[in-house]
């Protein structure tokens, strides 16, 4: 049995169209997060042979796996995949086509049992064998919808799997190849997606805070470019006084709940993105320290096509003595630093590209 085992391929459907028609950088990061989600939900002890763009080739040598356990693995991956997409749709900052289209991606899973072996090329373990070819050929089939679980006869014999779950309905088909037909059963997984709960977002509780500082300036640029300049941490150290570096430590793309480490000229601070709202002429977002003691709130408002107003408000916790201590010990310096920061932002906007959205 040492050369026989399970081949398990989750494949992100819609990937090719997604990459060809949308912004390549953000689509790449979205797919990267989704592939990591699939890897993190591996509960069967599957090994990874390789990541193939929009798919992962998992394998596990040994006896034919129990179909109930195999379904639980499919279910786990599919549900967590769509939970991630739903969460991103409700929390994302970006309005580019790639980010807005991400929620439309879905997942199909190919499972096959057969004979194959591995060989090493430097640090990579590659698989070889006719059943490796079979598994990949099954990715291209005549199933119209693209969120299904496919099981070959090597796993389920002639009869579709039964008694896995009440809603599951199976169909049968075959893939024609040069070596003959490969019969298989498949079932749609749409029901699982329909049951994915809405994601809960962390709440920004400004009612428990009081505004202690507010500064405003106007910039000769469109609202989207100004949002990138202020909200993209790549640029933060180039305009905000006291910030030397910002590292995103929980996600690849900005969203509500994203945690970041700020390296400051007087130490470090951990903050999370605590809110975000988008309208074509008004964008608001905020950053709150992890202990929820203070919040920096950004409001961007379109004046005309190439003029945008930025307001930065600073909030601290209500109740004696926090606001009083801020006024006595920190307000003057922070106000001066933010004034300098707003001035530096004018310079930065002359150095970065325009991110204006063509409507």
pLDDT value of residue 34: 97
pLDDT of residue 341: 98
Give the pLDDT confidence of 104-160 residue by residue, as tens digits: 999 999 999 999 998 887 777 789 999 999 999 999 998 988 899 999 999 987 778
State residue 156's pLDDT score. Answer: 86
- Superfamily, domain 4-194: Nucleotide cyclase, GGDEF domain (3.30.70.1230)
Give the pLDDT of residue 35.
97
Spatial CA neighbour of 73 closest among 171, 138, 155: 155
For each successive 10 residues of the chain (359 residues), what is the average pLDDT? 89 81 85 96 95 94 93 97 95 90 95 92 82 94 92 86 89 88 95 88 88 98 96 96 94 91 96 95 97 96 97 96 95 98 98 81
Long-range contacts of 14-23 (CB under 8 A, 24+ apart): 14/104, 14/105, 14/106, 14/146, 15/53, 15/54, 15/105, 16/54, 18/98, 18/101, 18/102, 18/104, 18/105, 21/97, 22/96, 22/97, 22/98, 22/101, 23/96, 23/97, 23/98
Strand duo 148-152 + 106-115: pairing: parallel
- pTM higher than 0.85, yes or no? yes
Q: Where in the chain is the domain with CATH 3.30.70.1230?
A: 4-194
pLDDT of residue 358: 63
Q: Tell me, what's the pLDDT at 46? A: 97
Homologous superfamily, domain 206-351: START domain (3.30.530.20)
Give the pLDDT confidence of 163-196 residue by residue, as tens digits: 898 899 999 999 998 778 999 999 999 999 999 9
Whole-angstrom distance, CA of residue 156 vs CA of residue 180: 19
pLDDT at 148: 97
Report pLDDT for 263: 97
């Amino acid at each position: 049995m040492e050369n026989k085992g399970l081949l398990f391929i989750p494949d992100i459907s819609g990937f090719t169209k997604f990459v060809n028609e949308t912004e390549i950088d953000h689509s790449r990061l979205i797919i990267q997060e989704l592939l990591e989600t699939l890897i993190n939900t591996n509960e069967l002890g599957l090994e990874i042979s390789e990541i193939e763009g929009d798919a992962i080739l998992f394998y596990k040598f040994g006896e034919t796996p129990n179909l109930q356990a195999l379904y639980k693995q499919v279910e786990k991956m599919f549900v967590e995949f769509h939970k991630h997409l739903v969460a991103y749709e409700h929390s994302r900052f970006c309005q580019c086509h790639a980010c807005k289209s991400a929620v439309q991606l879905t997942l199909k899973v190919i499972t096959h049992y057969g004979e194959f072996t591995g060989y090493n090329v430097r640090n990579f373990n590659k698989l070889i064998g006719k059943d490796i070819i079979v598994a990949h050929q099954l990715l291209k089939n005549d199933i119209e919808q693209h969120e299904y679980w496919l099981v070959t006869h090597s796993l389920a014999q002639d009869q579709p799997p039964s008694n896995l779950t009440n809603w599951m309905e199976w169909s049968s088909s075959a893939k024609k190849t040069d070596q003959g037909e490969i019969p298989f059963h498949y079932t749609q997984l749409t029901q699982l997606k329909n049951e994915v709960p809405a994601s809960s977002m962390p709440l920004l509780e400004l009612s428990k805070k009081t505004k202690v500082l507010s500064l405003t300036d106007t910039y000769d640029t469109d609202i989207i470019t100004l949002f990138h300049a202020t909200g993209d941490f790549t640029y933060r150290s180039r305009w905000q006084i006291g910030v030397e570096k910002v590292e995103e430590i929980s996600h690849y793309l900005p969203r509500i709940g994203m945690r970041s480490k700020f390296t400051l000229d007087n130490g470090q601070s951990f903050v999370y993105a605590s809110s975000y709202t988008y309208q074509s002429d008004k964008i608001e977002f905020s950053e709150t320290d992890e202990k929820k003691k203070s919040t920096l709130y950004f409001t961007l408002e379109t004046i005309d096509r190439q003029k945008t107003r930025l307001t930065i408000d600073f909030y601290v916790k209500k109740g004696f003595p926090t606001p009083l201590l801020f006024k006595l010990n920190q307000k003057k310096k922070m106000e001066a630093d933010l004034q300098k920061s707003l001035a530096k932002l004018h310079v930065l906007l002359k150095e970065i590209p325009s991110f204006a959205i063509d409507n």
